[in-house]
Chains A and B, each alone.
Chain A
């Protein structure tokens, strides 16, 4: 599958989650906190902690560990609190 990560085309496999892909690419963080600007990535890995939030197709606050990738998905880093585009 073809997807995009922060503007770059990337190959993804069916069944891969956003977090699975990002970690496989060597990323450990893809969100910054809204108060401290601190980097965050996966913490609980099962959809409970909401730390791994990411923007998918313009919609922020998507849990990377829960979201299965689909053909053409555009994933990007979430900076603090964001509004949907």
Chain B
């Protein structure tokens, strides 16, 4: 068990693997994609070349899904499937480790609005992944909407693959203004320079950038043909009379991020404000489990990489490897957190979004539960917890298991959203595949 296992090969996971490897540990680096990099460093999948060369102590396990995590004393067992996504012909393997680094990242939070289930509505992350990884533009004329500076690199990626951008709509205040605030300037010079660069790219392409605006509805029969945009007040309520119709063939929306918590929750890690709680060594509440990157809070790639370095060293140290205190990485983490906190204050999701969907808007895309149906379930039944709410309304019971709708459903229904993150199966597995898992309980009662 003298091996550090890192789940997720984005900025945090790669840094963790590298740090632990340099400290002399063997490292297993697991990612569901075929290439390293995660979302931020996503590689062009059509190029026949892996950009990153990990340290020689790192074994890469790509195209590999962690389907579940179980405790096995001392440490954890990860059940893995390697091969073509979603099977059924994947190779089973498990790995036991006493030093686990979770760097599973986050995905865009999507908010429901009328027409958000039409083809042609994407999350911002989808547009970015398809542009960078597959050289595909999700539309010819695209509107971006959401909140936070992470919309900017998405716009840049879309321009790279030849899309025209009809506008970037920021529901909070303008990013350019925020970049001049003290917390941004002092804490994240590299990040602010990067973001300022994106703003210049947008300006060069004459992309309209509007603060306190969003997309209110998408229109079309079988796909997006147009959208309605509107101005918002500071609480994200629509300013009536500001609605405009814009002809586009794609909309990309991103309203902050939702951490991918299932493995951390399965391990029993304590959460704080919806993210995994860690100490200065990136250690979670569970011995032998470390977390880094967006899983612990949203702060971008630099902070994620710095946290990954700390987590990788801490994991190595927990296995007895001699390590030096990573002063530089710790400093970058502290600065990055200041930046992240400023970001969180400036770009929250505000309660006014709850007025955007109408009665017939789907809140749960998988089970096709409308906002009206959700509201009626709550009114009629004693639903005060996630478990009963799901079973009464069916929201969150579909294939995505509440990953997309969980936060929204919880906020609309007024129940805590933590219950949605409990997914002992971290990813779907074919029944036949489940028939051959090896369990640490083998032969035990």
A85 within 8 A of B: no
Residues in B whose Cβ lies below 8 Å from that of A66:
32, 85-86
CB-CB under 8 A for A46 and B125, given A35-B368, A67-B84, A67-B85: yes
Q: Are A16 and B138 in contact (CB under 8 A)?
A: no
Residues in B whose Cβ lies below 8 Å from that of A15:
34, 44-48
Q: How far is the CA of A42 from the CA of B122 in the complex (A)?
A: 7
Q: Are A39 and B399 in contact (CB under 8 A)?
A: no
Question: How far is the CB of A23 from the nearest CB of chain B, in Å?
Answer: 5
Q: Mask for A34-60, Cβ within 8 A of B = 1, else 0?
A: 011011111111111111010010010
Interface residues on B, range: 35 or more
Q: Are A42 and B86 in contact (CB under 8 A)?
A: no
Which of A17, A49, A51 is the most central at the interface, judged by chain B CB atoms within 10 Å of its CB? A49
Q: Specify the chain B residue showing the minimal Cβ separation from A59.
A: B88
Question: How far is the CB of A77 from the nearest CB of chain B, in Å?
Answer: 13
Q: Specify the chain A residue showing the minimal Cβ separation from B250.
A: A28
Q: Are A43 and B122 in contact (CB under 8 A)?
A: yes
Residues in A whose Cβ lies below 8 Å from that of B129:
45-46, 65
Which of B125, B223, B365, B428 sits near A51, CB closer than 8 Å?
B365
A19 within 8 A of B: yes
B110 within 8 A of A: yes
B82 within 8 A of A: no
Which of A24, A38, A56, A67 sits near B117, CB closer than 8 Å?
A38
Question: How far is the CB of B221 from the nearest CB of chain A, in Å?
Answer: 9
Which of A35, A43, A48, A68 sits near B63, CB closer than 8 Å?
A68
B214 within 8 A of A: no
Q: Specify the chain A residue showing the minimal Cβ separation from B121.
A: A43
Q: Specify the chain B residue showing the minimal Cβ separation from A15.
A: B45
Question: How far is the CB of A27 from the nearest CB of chain B, in Å?
Answer: 9
B120 within 8 A of A: yes
Q: Are B108 and A28 in contact (CB under 8 A)?
A: no
Q: Are B126 and A63 in contact (CB under 8 A)?
A: no
B39 within 8 A of A: yes
Q: Are A44 and B85 in contact (CB under 8 A)?
A: no
Q: Specify the chain B residue showing the minimal Cβ separation from A13.
A: B46
Q: Specify the chain B residue showing the minimal Cβ separation from A41.
A: B119
Which of B44, B63, B133, B223 sits near A29, CB closer than 8 Å?
B223
Q: Are B400 and A45 in contact (CB under 8 A)?
A: no
Residues in A whose Cβ lies below 8 Å from that of B108:
44
Which of A17, A33, A38, A59 sits near B134, CB closer than 8 Å?
A17
A5 within 8 A of B: no
Q: How far is the CA of A61 from the CA of B86 in the complex (A)?
A: 8
Residues in B whose Cβ lies below 8 Å from that of A53:
399
Q: Mask for A1-22, Cβ within 8 A of B = 1, else 0?
A: 0000000000001111101100
B residues at A contact (CB < 8 Å): 32, 34, 39, 44-48, 63, 84-88, 107-108, 110, 117-123, 125-130, 133-136, 138, 222-223, 260, 365-368, 398-400, 403-404, 428
- A-B contacts, 7 listed (Cβ < 8 Å): A19-B134, A48-B404, A51-B400, A53-B399, A56-B84, A59-B88, A68-B84
A-B interface, 4 closest residue pairs, ranked by CB to CB distance from nearest: A45-B126, A20-B134, A66-B85, A50-B399
Known A-B contacts: A46-B125, A66-B86. Give 13 more (CB < 8 A).
A16-B46, A17-B134, A19-B130, A20-B130, A23-B136, A38-B117, A40-B119, A42-B138, A44-B126, A48-B403, A59-B88, A66-B85, A67-B85
